[in-house]
């Protein structure tokens, strides 16, 4: 009840603040609209009643001769010891929806996409392109990803004439991914094909946005890795708020510390060959091998732990002794039904229930290296 | 235009584009890094700034990303991209091509209220004092693509990070970092021992090891000061990645991690529950003094047809405190009632041994015809340790019990307290792993694709240990520091084929080298009936052959259907449903005979036979027959121009074919989230989530006492069957863990121009209830009237709840100077019946606890002022 009361109080308090903010927001929007009136209008309607030919006439001539330069050699030679980055050799992907289109050069693109140019220029992605192009002459930074732009320039409102990477784009996700993989294949993306993210129809730009610096690193689609992952995996994100959890909510870890969202040879996209190998990377003391092993521990940490978050101590999937009594029904002490009688407040306090329960005695539950440790007491 | 002419051209074009994409230019060599291959250090942040760069994201660009399009673009799935921050072109550095940009945010933090609440500071070292919110300094050369980046933050000496990166885009990158990460284990710990944090826990005066009364122990415990237990993880690393030669890219990284601190631990001097005023149950504190050095090397080549990746991962763990000695205050008495000859008062743990790990893996991928791809990966790994073993016990003098000739159950500690009592002086432990993974994918037409995969993985445990004492010719070990055999005659842990007192003792004499070989075959196909939808099906056959387990073979067949549509009333919907059935060969409830003394020559069956190891109807849940079904729906709905509504619905059902053991699990949950970005100045978010889960088990108490059958020690004790005399139906019981989780919250941020206001509220709450039922009171651990009455009342609920309210105001003083005021208020509630009563006392007869558990209620506030300077 106290939580609900507090919630209501906060909602009421916030509502008045929000009202003021939104009034302010409308003003900002109005100002923005006014300011934007000098720029071309959105794509749905030709700006200011301009026809397609008007638009085509207003565009500058291609600045680089990129189309001609690439006609005979779409993959310019490497620049050897040039100070330019290897990005300068990036090719222009064909647009399956506009196969006859020719490159027109970035200057033409920027004539309309001025603000995109401002934002993109400050991203790691485009800045690296620019660094290459600055030294090697005619290149097509925009068209290296968006494909040749002539068809789009002639008919900007027609969808599909340029390779797009957003929700309204006509370019299918596999085509989008293909563009990115043209440069980014291999390495961390060696197993993209066949990964669950690829199978579920994700595009690279579901997680990345190379057109704006939304994150200082990783050209992410949101402001951090964890926010990107939580876009779809909201339930997993919520588990990190439970009593025991990995330190994601405290900003110390990212989902990608353990998972490779670009694909791996494991079903949950782990970075290593098995669950345990991933866990051992940070919990190397659990690796052993020990003189005496505990079978479910060695087989899979997830037998006992819910690594994303748990309502029990130390990420356990069930409270002790219940956790242990799922398997241990041996004669004498393991198979008794523990009840409230055994609590610290009960008539018969019982060490199998209080505090760490079973682990008070079987402390080396992950394995013992003691000659007297077959039952993990030592 | 082609897209407008009909769908027929689209698939062909799509295939062409994909093919072109996949076989695109290899000239871009070091286009990105291998960061997402290596585990760890992907995130540098802290509780003050979860992202690690939040101040760099403000203010948002009022023009958004485009003059052409109102609002923001969406991801292909339909989620809104945030408004980007106002681009900062940086400042020129000298006359050259370099520019720089940076900011520093520093200020003061005040923490009030219950600042030591465990769940407030679990992974954050909140302290009142000066803090460095963020220091970021970037140098860029727009002409060459060279850069240098420095980033750091400091909450305290145990909660900080600093990282330096330098390189040239697409050519190479150097990285060095240092970070401290805190982990609070308990803030309500009351250890009585001297030497906490070290390897020797000694009792304070007036307590005397092995000779103190429970009242004396309780008095010392009550006077023990409150302490916090926890550890700090300190990591430092260096890495390089860059072009080695032509299209070959290499990376090398070394990371050194030190973990230091303390954790709660145990200490057993035999049971107390069946033996009032006897035994010893101790919750001790162990030291953490670990060092791990990781070395990661990789080399890769990306060509038009072939892609090659070789990785080596080496990890070298060193534990600088590999044992823990502790003194037990409690006196032991033998149940035979004879004078106690043994003086067992010291305990010892072996803590984790050092270990070395090597893993070499090769991945090879080739493009094939029909838009296909073939990938193969092979890996070999080994983990090894050869630490010196500790002796079986540290006791001195005589252990065990002397009754009367010939019932002399004593043992000479001198025969067991040196490593001369061992068959080998070091562990010589080793597990080798092998992996082969192959996958082939074809998409002969854009509308149809199929794939097949084969994975083989083996874990081969080569550790062999025989518990044999060459000094005595006996097998086995000394149980619980010698305490068990000093309380119950003969339960020393020893098997001696020459001594009638010990020749029927069934004790562990060998280690069990668990291992397994897992083979997984996968076949799948997907079909795209339309441009915006796809349907997939995947069949998986998992054949596992565990070694030395209850089953020699476990097979699971799984079929999964998934459906994706990008246009369900404008929403993107991803649905999946899977069904799996696990079976196996005959379940052997006791496969461990070869590892016990009953397998040795000279073992004599006791007159009444050996008691059944366990109930034959037990099915361990990682091996039992099981049916499983899972369903999940992820929906993303673009709501107007500036909002997104997203939701997740999911459920899992597992049914285990087990009379005894885990019987079922169920999880059902849903989340819903609303994101709204009406302008660059305003963002709003609200979310709700709910999940319920159940876990049901059954077990059966053995008839070991006069009030529940008293079969133990009779000829009927050999019967392992449920419903038999040792495990009667009357003693069966069932337990159900039900958990309910709720979370919700909202956030609001608005930029008024000179000031930006942030408000955020988060609630998380869980309720856990462990319920049980039983056939008769024979199932209960204790069956006197008071216990039966208490059992009928059931366990109280477990709760965990936090409410967190964050408020922030950021003022723009000038283009380069800003001030941020912020505050947090958090209240929390916690209860867990494991800790019931421990608030009042940590001492119960011969049991002594250290931790009182999380704070039951707490309120904490945090206010801060930060000065933000653009450099």
- Average pLDDT, 10 consecutive residues per value, chain B (871 residues): 34 37 37 73 95 89 85 91 90 92 96 96 96 96 89 97 92 95 98 98 98 98 98 97 88 97 98 96 98 96 90 98 98 96 97 98 94 95 98 97 96 98 98 98 92 98 98 98 97 97 97 98 95 95 98 98 94 98 97 97 96 95 98 97 97 98 98 96 97 98 89 92 96 98 97 95 98 97 96 97 98 95 97 98 98 97 97 90
B17 sits in which H/E element: helix B9-22
Q: Give chain B positions within 8 Å (CB) of A55.
A: none
Find the closest chain A residue to B26 by CA distance: A183
Burial of A5 (0-12, 13-18, 19+ CB in 10 A): exposed
Name the burial class of residue B97, with classes exposed (0-12), middle (13-18) and buried (19+) by CB atoms within 10 angstroms of its CB.
middle
Of B67, B702, B796, the CB nearest to A114: B67
Locate all alpha helices (DSSP H) within chain A, ordered by sequence: 2-36, 52-58, 66-71, 106-112, 114-121, 124-136, 143-146, 150-154, 173-184, 196-199, 225-230, 234-239, 275-282, 295-299, 322-325
Confidence (pLDDT) at B12:
38
Of the partner residues B28, B508, B735, the one whose CB lies closest to the CB of residue A89: B28
CB contact under 8 A, A341 and B786: yes
Which of A202, A235, A340 has its CB closest to that of B671? A235
Orientation angle between helical segments B9-22 and A173-184, nearest 10 degrees: 20
Beta strands in B428-570 (DSSP E): 429-445, 448-461, 468-469, 474-476, 494-495, 515-530, 533-547, 554-568
Q: Which residue has the tokens 């074919």?
A: B657
Q: Does A115 touch chain B (CB under 8 A)?
A: yes
Is residue B173 within 8 Å of residue B34, measured between CB atoms?
no
Can you give the pLDDT at residue B8?
A: 35
From B18, B47, B772, residue closest to A178, measured CB to CB: B18
Chain B, residues 547-566, CB within 8 A of chain A, namely 548-549, 562, 564, 566
Q: Is B390 in CB contact (< 8 Å) with chain A?
A: yes
Outline where B769-808 has alpha helix (H): 785-793
Which residue carries 């010891």 as its tokens? A81
Nearest to B393 by CA among B334, B315, B471, B320: B471
Chain B CB contacts of A200 below 8 Å: 562, 564, 574, 576
Chain A residue with minimum CA distance to B795: A340
Best interface-test mutation with B: which of A201, A271, A276, A366 has the largest number of B CBs within 10 A? A201
Restricting to B residues 751-780, those with a Cβ less than 8 Å away from any Cβ of A are 752, 757, 759, 761-766, 768, 770, 772, 774, 779-780
The chain B residue lying nearest A326, using CA atoms, is B661
Q: Which of A166, A215, A351 sits opposite B76 (nearest CB)?
A: A166
Residue of A11, A201, A284 lying closest to B317 (CB–CB) = A284
3-class DSSP assignment, residue A67: helix
Q: Name residues 718-737 of chain B within 8 A of A (Cβ).
A: 726, 733, 735, 737
Residue numbers in chain A where pLDDT is lower than 50 = 1-50, 59-85, 138
Q: Which residues between 125 and 144 in chain A have a beta carbon less than 8 angstroms from any beta carbon of chain B? A: 127-128, 130-132, 134-135
For residue A268, what is the enclosing H or E element? none
Q: Check CB contact of A342 with chain B, cutoff 8 Å.
A: yes
Per the CB < 8 Å rule, is B27 touching A90? Answer: yes
Helix (H) or strand (E) holding B757: strand B755-774
A332 part of contact set with chain B, CB < 8 Å: yes
Report pLDDT for A58.
52
- All residues of chain B having their beta carbon less than 8 Å from the beta carbon of residue A118 are 63, 87
Residue B725's nearest CA partner among B790, B778, B763 is B778
Out of A281, A329, A343, closest to residue B699 by CB: A329
ipTM rounded to 2 decimals = 0.94
- Exposure of A167 by Cβ count < 10 A (0-12 exposed, 13-18 middle, 19+ buried)? buried
Chain A residues whose CB is inside 8 A of the B835 CB are: 344, 354-355
The answer to whether the CB atoms of B794 and A339 lie below 8 A apart is yes
Q: Answer whether B611 touches A (CB < 8 Å).
A: yes
Interface contact flag, B68 A42, Cβ < 8 Å: yes
pLDDT the model gives residue B170: 79
User: Does the distance separating the beta carbons of B838 and A90 come in below 8 Å?
Assistant: no
User: What's the first-to-final CA gap in chain B, in angstroms?
Assistant: 49
Beta strand pairing status for B285-302 and B323-327?
Answer: unpaired
Q: Do B145 and A128 touch (CB under 8 A)?
A: yes
- Asked if B501 and B404 touch (Cβ cutoff 8 Å), the reply is no
First to last CA, chain A: 47
Residue of B nearest to A158 (CA): B1
For residues B13 and B21, what is the distance between their CA atoms, to the nearest angstrom? 12
**A257: which residues sit within 8 A by CB, 6+ positions away?**
B39, B40, B41, B42, B43
For residue B513, the tally of other CB atoms under 10 A from its CB is 21
CB contact under 8 A, B726 and A24: no
Q: What is the DSSP letter of B217?
A: H
Which chain B residues are Cβ-neighbours of A223 within 8 angstroms?
A: 51, 53-54, 57, 82
B chain contacts of residue A260, beta-carbon cutoff 8 Å: 36-37
Answer whether A321 touches B (CB < 8 Å): no
| Tokens found for residue B140 | 């860029």
Return the residue of B nearest to A191 by Cα: B375
- Does residue A293 contact residue B549 with C-beta atoms inside 8 Å? no
- The encoded tokens of residue B784 equal 């006197």
Q: Looking at beta carbons, which residues of chain A come within 8 Å of B41?
A: 257
Closest CB to B787 among A238, A317, A347: A347
d(CA B429, CA B485): 29
Cα A207 from Cα A231, distance rounded (Å): 9
Q: Give the span between the Cα atoms of B367 and B372, in whole angstroms.
A: 6
Residue of A nearest to B98 (CA): A131
Separation between Cα atoms, residue A369 and residue A294, nearest integer Å: 12
Residue A113, min C-alpha distance to chain B (Å): 7
**B2 neighbourhood in chain A, CB within 8 Å:** 96-99, 160
Reading the block at residue B124, the tokens are: 């954050």
Nearest by CB to B24, which of A183, A215, A223? A183
Element (H, E) at B366: strand B355-368
DSSP one-letter code for B702 = -
Sorted by where each begins, the domain ranges of chain A are 86-163, 171-271, 284-360
3-state percent breakdown (helix, strand, coil) of chain B, nearest 5: 10, 55, 40
Work out the minimum CA distance from B750 to partner chain A, whole angstroms.
6
Q: What is the dihedral sign for C-alpha B44, B46, B49, B55?
A: negative
Rg of chain B (C-alpha set): 32
Given an 8 Å threshold on Cβ–Cβ distance, is A185 in contact with B770?
no
Cβ <8 Å between B350 and A370: yes
- Non-local (6+) Cβ contacts of B100 within 8 A are B90, B91, B93, B137, B138, B139, B140, B871
């Amino acid at each position: 009840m106290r939580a609900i009361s507090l919630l209501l109080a906060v909602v009421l308090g916030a509502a008045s603040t929000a009202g003021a903010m939104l009034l302010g927001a409308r003003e900002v929007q109005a100002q923005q609209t006014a300011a934007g009136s000098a720029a071309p209008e959105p794509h749905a309607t030709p700006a200011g009643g301009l026809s397609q030919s008007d638009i085509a006439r207003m565009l500058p001539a291609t600045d680089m001769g990129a189309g001609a330069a690439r006609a005979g050699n779409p993959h310019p030679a490497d620049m050897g010891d040039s100070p330019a980055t290897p990005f300068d050799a990036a090719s222009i992907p064909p647009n399956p929806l506009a196969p006859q289109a020719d490159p027109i050069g970035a200057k033409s693109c920027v004539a309309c996409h001025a603000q995109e140019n401002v934002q993109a220029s400050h991203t790691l992605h485009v800045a690296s392109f620019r660094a290459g192009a600055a030294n090697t002459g005619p290149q097509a930074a925009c068209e290296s990803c968006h494909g040749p732009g002539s068809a789009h320039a002639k008919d900007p409102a027609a969808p599909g004439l340029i390779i797009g990477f957003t929700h309204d784009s006509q370019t299918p996700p596999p085509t989008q991914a293909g563009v990115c993989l043209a440069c980014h294949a291999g390495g961390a993306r060696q197993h993209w094909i066949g990964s669950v993210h690829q199978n579920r129809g994700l595009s690279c730009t579901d997680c990345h946005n190379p057109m704006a610096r939304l994150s200082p690193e990783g050209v992410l689609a949101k402001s951090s890795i964890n926010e990107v992952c939580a876009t779809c995996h909201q339930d997993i994100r919520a588990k990190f708020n439970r009593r025991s959890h990995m330190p994601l909510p405290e900003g110390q870890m990212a989902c990608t510390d353990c998972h490779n969202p670009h694909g791996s040879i494991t079903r949950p996209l782990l970075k290593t060959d098995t669950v345990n190998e991933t866990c051992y990377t940070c919990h190397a003391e659990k690796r052993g091998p020990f003189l005496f092993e505990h079978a479910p521990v060695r087989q899979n940490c997830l037998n006992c732990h819910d690594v994303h978050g748990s309502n029990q101590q130390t990420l356990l999937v069930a409270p002790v002794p219940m956790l242990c009594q799922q398997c241990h029904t041996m004669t004498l002490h393991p198979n008794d039904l523990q009840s409230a009688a055994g609590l610290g407040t009960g008539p018969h306090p019982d060490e199998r229930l209080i505090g760490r329960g079973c682990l008070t005695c079987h402390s080396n539950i992950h394995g013992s290296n003691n000659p007297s440790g077959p039952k993990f007491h030592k | 235009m082609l897209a407008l002419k009909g769908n027929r051209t689209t698939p062909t074009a799509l295939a062409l584009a994909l093919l072109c994409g996949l076989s695109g230019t290899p000239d871009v060599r070091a286009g990105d890094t291998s960061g997402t291959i290596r585990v760890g250090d992907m995130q540098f942040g802290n509780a003050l700034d979860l992202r690690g760069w939040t101040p760099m994201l403000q203010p948002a660009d009022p023009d958004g990303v485009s003059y052409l399009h109102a609002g923001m673009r969406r991801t292909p799935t339909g989620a809104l991209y945030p408004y980007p921050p106002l681009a900062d072109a940086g400042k020129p550095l000298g006359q050259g091509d370099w520019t720089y940009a940076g900011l520093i945010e520093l200020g003061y933090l005040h923490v009030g209220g219950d600042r030591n609440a465990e769940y407030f500071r679990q992974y954050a070292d909140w302290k009142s004092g000066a803090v460095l919110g963020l220091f970021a300094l970037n140098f860029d050369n727009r002409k060459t693509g060279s850069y240098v980046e420095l980033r750091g933050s400091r909450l305290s000496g145990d909660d900080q990070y600093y990282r330096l990166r330098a390189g040239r885009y697409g050519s190479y990158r150097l990285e060095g970092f240092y970070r401290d990460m805190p982990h609070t284990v308990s803030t309500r710990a009351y250890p009585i021992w001297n030497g906490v944090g070290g390897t020797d826990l000694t009792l304070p005066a007036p307590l005397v090891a092995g000779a103190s009364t429970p009242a004396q122990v309780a008095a010392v415990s009550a006077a023990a000061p409150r302490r916090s237990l926890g550890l700090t993880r300190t990591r430092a690393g260096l890495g390089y990645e860059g072009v080695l030669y032509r299209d070959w890219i290499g990376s090398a990284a070394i990371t050194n991690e030190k973990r230091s601190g303390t954790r709660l631990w145990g200490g057993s001097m035999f049971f107390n529950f069946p033996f009032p005023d006897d035994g010893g149950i101790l919750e001790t504190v162990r030291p953490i003094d670990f060092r791990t050095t990781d070395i990661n090397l990789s080399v890769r080549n990306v060509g038009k047809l072939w892609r090659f990746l070789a990785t080596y991962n080496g990890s070298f763990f060193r534990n600088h405190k590999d044992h823990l000695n502790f003194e037990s205050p409690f006196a032991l008495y033998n149940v035979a009632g004879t004078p106690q000859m043994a003086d067992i008062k010291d305990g010892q743990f072996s803590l984790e041994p050092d270990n070395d790990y090597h893993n070499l893996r090769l991945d090879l991928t080739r493009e094939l015809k029909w838009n296909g791809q073939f990938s193969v990966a092979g890996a070999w790994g080994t983990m090894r340790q050869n630490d010196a073993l500790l002796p079986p016990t540290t006791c001195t003098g005589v252990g065990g019990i002397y009754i009367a000739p010939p019932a002399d159950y004593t043992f000479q500690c001198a025969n067991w307290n040196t490593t001369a009592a061992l068959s080998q002086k070091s562990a010589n432990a080793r597990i080798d792993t092998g992996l082969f993974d192959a996958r082939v994918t074809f998409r002969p037409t854009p509308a149809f694709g199929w794939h097949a995969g084969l994975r083989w993985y083996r874990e081969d445990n080569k550790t062999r240990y025989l518990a044999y004492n060459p000094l005595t010719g006996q097998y086995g070990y000394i149980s619980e520091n010698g305490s068990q055999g000093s309380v119950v005659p003969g339960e020393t842990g020893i098997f001696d084929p020459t001594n009638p007192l010990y020749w029927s003792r069934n004790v562990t004499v060998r280690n069990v080298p668990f291992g397994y070989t897992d083979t997984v075959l996968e076949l799948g196909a997907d079909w795209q009936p339309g441009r915006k939808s796809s349907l997939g099906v995947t069949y998986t056959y998992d054949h596992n052959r565990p070694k030395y387990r209850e089953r020699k073979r476990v097979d699971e067949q799984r079929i999964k259907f998934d459906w994706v549509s990008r246009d369900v009333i404008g929403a993107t919907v991803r649905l999946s449903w899977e069904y799996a059935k696990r079976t196996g060969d005959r379940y052997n409830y006791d496969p461990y005979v070869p590892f016990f003394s009953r397998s040795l020559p000279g073992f004599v069956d006791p007159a009444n036979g050996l008691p059944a190891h366990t109930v034959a109807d037990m099915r361990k849940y990682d091996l039992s027959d099981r049916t499983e079904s899972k369903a999940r729906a992820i929906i993303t709905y673009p709501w107007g121009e500036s909002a997104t509504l997203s939701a997740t619905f999911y459920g899992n059902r597992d049914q285990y074919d087990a009379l005894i053991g885990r019987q079922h699990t169920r999880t059902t949950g849903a989340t819903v989230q609303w994101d709204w970005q009406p302008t660059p100045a305003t963002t709003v978010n609200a979310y709700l989530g709910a999940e319920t889960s159940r876990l049901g088990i059954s077990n059966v108490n053995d008839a070991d006492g006069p009030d529940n059958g008293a079969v133990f020690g009779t000829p009927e004790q050999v019967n392992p069957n449920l419903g038999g005399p040792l495990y009667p139906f009357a003693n069966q019981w069932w337990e159900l863990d039900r958990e309910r989780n709720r979370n919700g919250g909202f956030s609001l941020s608005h930029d008024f121009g000179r000031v930006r206001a942030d408000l955020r509220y988060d609630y998380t709450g869980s309720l856990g209830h462990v319920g049980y039922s039983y056939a008769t009171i024979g199932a209960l651990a204790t069956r006197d009237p008071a216990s039966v009455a208490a059992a009928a009342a059931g366990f109280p609920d477990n709760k965990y709840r936090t409410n967190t309210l964050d408020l922030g105001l950021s003022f723009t003083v000038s283009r380069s100077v800003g001030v941020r005021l912020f505050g947090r208020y958090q209240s929390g509630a916690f209860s867990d019946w494991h800790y019931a009563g421990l608030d009042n006392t940590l001492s119960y007869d011969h049991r002594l606890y250290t931790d009182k558990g999380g704070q039951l209620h707490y309120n904490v506030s945090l206010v801060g002022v930060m000065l933000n300077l653009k450099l």
